[in-house]
Amino acid sequence: MNVLKVTPQQVDLFSLVEKANESANPIFLRAKQGSAVVVSQKEWETLQEMLVIFNTPGVRKDLQEAIESITAPPSPTSVTDNAPRAELQDRTTPGIASGKQARRG
Ranges of each domain in the chain: 1-39, 40-73
- Model confidence at 104, in pLDDT bands (50, 70, 90)? low
Give the C-alpha separation, 27 to 66, whole Å. Answer: 33
Mean pLDDT comparison of 20-24, 85-89, 97-101, highest-scoring range:
20-24
Do residues 26 and 2 lie in contact, with contact meaning Cβ atoms separated by under 8 Å? yes
Instruction: Provide the pLDDT for residue 51.
Output: 92
Radius of gyration of the chain (CA): 30
Residues 16-72 have pLDDT tens digits of 889 899 988 999 988 888 888 999 999 999 999 999 988 888 888 898 899 998 888
pLDDT value at position 16? 86
pLDDT score for 98:
47
* Strands laid side by side in the 27-31 sheet: 2-5, 27-31, 34-38
